[in-house]
Amino acid sequence: MIDIIQIIIESPFLQRAILGALLIAIVAAASGTFLVFRGLSFMASGVAHAALGGTALGIFLQDSGLVPWFDPILGALLFSVLVAAFTGYAGESGITQKMEVAVGVSFALSMSFAVFLMYYIPPYRVPQIWGYLIGDILLLNDLDIIMLGSTTLLLAVITLMFNKEFVYVSVDMEGSTAHGMNARAYHYLMLIVSALAIALATKAVGAILVYAIMVAPAAASNELVKSVRGVIFSVFLIALIAELAGIATSFVVFVSPSAIAGILAALSYILALQIKRLKEKVDVDIDDPALYPDDLKVTWIQSLSHEHEDEHEH
């Protein structure tokens, strides 16, 4: 135990990794939960890839000298917000399928865009784009932490303030509007703030990990936990444990922490499905005789025998 603390104190990159893991667990709890509630789990990966397209644009603008001050991260944020707004627009009526399609279209568009621009970007900067896919939680720098930290804080505050509104928009958009809530505003707020946090998380740890951490724990919790607050809390725990386990494993075995975290998160979902199935089985196995009152049975048998009598008469 003392050893571990010693190691953490001595290695700033490990401190950043643990802090990053904590922040991403918060993002997963705050936005992953609501995305899964709305049937929009695909949006996490849509936004992550849009960030990649935006980065390509940023690098291109910077490198070609067109807009030298344009940091690639601005492109990533811009693109992810555009995807969120586009998705929100498609789903203003509250229909999830339409939003899924919008996410799919923006996914394809941003990836095509990224690949298109790669031909015009100096080859030595191309890995920076792909870095958005793979990422590494052990390679976070201070700026990453600051940006991710401030967005996570914003997301957490907004979710704490408006979680009821986000739930109401997901449950009954029409009814919420009709009761005087500005459902449209919350609908966009939720999508855009989530997109910002997802884009920065992607920059920090890579799209693959973001996707796994954003969706699987929320899906797992939603199978088993029966209250909104419970789901949020459980997502946070699953995400954090998966990430810390990933980091710890990478010290023992030569392996990417993101890969381990992603696999663990995905396993949590499979496990949840299994637990749910087991629970259902137990419920069915209950063969309580009290459930079949005798008098009902008798009536039933009587009516059966009456039917037979009728048949004889015919």
Partner 1 sequence: MAATTPLLQVRDLAVRYSNGDLALHHVSFEIKSPSFMAIIGPNGSGKSTLVKTSLGLIKPSRGTIKVMGYDSQKKSGKIRKLVRYVPQRDRIDLAIPMKVKDIVLMGRLLKKLPPRFATSKDIAIAKDALQQVNMEELWERPFPELSGGQRQRVLVARALASEGSILVLDEPLAGTDVESQNLIVEALGRYHKENDVSIIMVTHDLNPIHTLVEDVLLLKNTVIGLGEPCSIMDPELIKKVYGPTARIVEHSGHRYCMTHDSGIDRHD
Site residues (CB under 8 A) for partner 1?
A: 36-39, 94, 161-162, 164-165, 167-168, 170-172, 174-181, 222, 225-228, 230-231
User: Toward partner 1, which CB reaches closer, 221 or 250?
Assistant: 221
| Amino acid identity for residue 298 in this structure | V
The 3-state DSSP class for residue 121 equals coil
Closest separation in Å from C-beta 103 to partner 1? 17
Q: Please answer whether residues 193 and 163 qualify as being in contact, where contact means their C-beta atoms are separated by less than 8 angstroms.
A: no
Closest separation in Å from C-beta 223 to partner 1? 10
Q: C-alpha distances in angstroms, 19 versus 203, 204, 222?
A: 15, 11, 26
- From its phi and psi, is residue 143 left (phi > 0), alpha (psi between -120 and 50) or beta? alpha
Q: Please answer whether residues 137 and 246 qualify as being in contact, where contact means their C-beta atoms are separated by less than 8 angstroms.
A: yes
User: Toward partner 1, which CB reaches closer, 159 or 258?
Assistant: 159
The 3-state DSSP class for residue 259 equals helix
Name the token pair of 20: 């990053």
User: Toward partner 1, which CB reaches closer, 73 or 156?
Assistant: 156
E runs forming strands in the chain: none
- From its phi and psi, is residue 312 left (phi > 0), alpha (psi between -120 and 50) or beta? alpha
User: Toward partner 1, which CB reaches closer, 88 or 94?
Assistant: 94
Closest separation in Å from C-beta 96 to partner 1? 8
Name the token pair of 102: 């919008």
Closest separation in Å from C-beta 181 to partner 1? 5
Closest separation in Å from C-beta 172 to partner 1? 5
Q: What is the DSSP string of 75-130?
A: HHHHHHHHHHHHHHHHTTT--HHHHHHHHHHHHHHHHHHHHHHHTTS-GGGHHHHH
* 206 contacts: CB under 8 Å, gap ≥ 6: 131, 132, 133, 134, 135, 136, 258
Closest separation in Å from C-beta 209 to partner 1? 25
User: Toward partner 1, which CB reaches closer, 176 or 256?
Assistant: 176
Closest separation in Å from C-beta 40 to partner 1? 10
User: Toward partner 1, which CB reaches closer, 180 or 289?
Assistant: 180
